[in-house]
Amino acid sequence: MVWFRYLAYFVAVAFITWALTQMEIWSPGSLKMHIFLSDSDVYGTSEFSPVEIIQAIILGACGVIMAWVAKYCPSQRPIAFGFGGMALAFLIRELDFFLDRYVIDNFWQVLIVIVGALLIAYTYRHRRRLNVGLARIWPSPGLTLLFAGAVVLFAFVRLVGHEPLWMSILGDAYQRVIKLAVEEFIELIGYFLWMIGTIEYALQARAIAYREPQPAAQRRRQKRRHDAEGKF
């Protein structure tokens, strides 16, 4: 079953990547990596690209999965809350263009500060439960993949996608669309790792929850429910 899952991950990532690349090859410009919204638009944007849309969908799915873990796997709640909050922060960052354009300029920064503050406060308050949760699930393939995705998103893409680097490499032939394409595709593989890690972590957390003894209150509640059903 494990090997089948990883084969499915490989096929899914390969297919989506193939579809995106072939879309651009068959119809140049269809990925919308660098479009201008008006005559006064100097920099252009890639926010309407299918690549960025897929990234947002992945982050939303990761947040939903982590919310499920936090609800049904009590021992993993602090970890799931932390990663779910990070997925929300990533999603807000990916939607910064739309929040700036259609809500309030720099509104996304305010939202990220609020989310970050809540995450720090929650993690500090539940740091003992966080350590217990890590001890119960580690070593974890899911957390390893989440860490790998974070390395790509926080470090690698920020350095490789840095505009002065591409201006130096390409010189007079520099075009911003090249930098945007490289940056967005690197981010996409980071989000793929994040998604696979989230799924694997959720499966492992579910297995731990089923192995753990149920709290006395939960056992009594289930017994009362069973007795009530038995009367009819």
pLDDT band at residue 224, thresholds of 50, 70 and 90?
low
Q: Would you list the DSSP string of 15-64?
A: HHHHHHHHHHHHSTTTT-SSB-SSTT-SS-B-TTSHHHHHHHHHHHHHHH
Q: Is the pLDDT of residue 219 over 70?
A: no
Q: Is the pLDDT of residue 179 over 80?
A: yes
Flag whether 29 is in a domain. no
Q: Is the pLDDT of residue 62 over 60?
A: yes
Flag whether 226 is in a domain. no
Structure-token match 């032939």, residue found:
173
Structure-token match 């779910």, residue found:
84
Q: 35 - beta bridge partners?
A: 45
Distance, CA of 26 to CA of 74 (rounded, Å)? 49
pLDDT band at residue 170, thresholds of 50, 70 and 90?
confident
Flag whether 31 is in a domain. no
Flag whether 26 is in a domain. no
Q: At what angle do helices 2-26 and 176-211 cross, to 10 degrees?
A: 160
Flag whether 232 is in a domain. no
pLDDT at 14: 94
pLDDT at 92: 87
pLDDT at 8: 92
Q: Is the pLDDT of residue 167 over 90?
A: no
Mean pLDDT over each residue of the chain, to the nearest integer: 82
pLDDT at 221: 57
pLDDT at 227: 58
Higher-pLDDT residue of 151, 218: 151
Mean pLDDT check: name the lowest of 3-12, 135-144, 183-192.
Answer: 135-144
Flag whether 18 is in a domain. no
Q: Is the pLDDT of residue 176 over 60?
A: yes
What total of structural domains would you count in the chain? 1
Higher-pLDDT residue of 10, 99: 10
Flag whether 174 is in a domain. yes
Percent of the chain with pLDDT over 90: 16
Residue 153, domain extent: 47-211
Flag whether 37 is in a domain. no
Distance, CA of 224 to CA of 209 (rounded, Å)? 22
Q: Is the pLDDT of residue 217 over 80?
A: no
- Enter the pTM of the model: 0.80
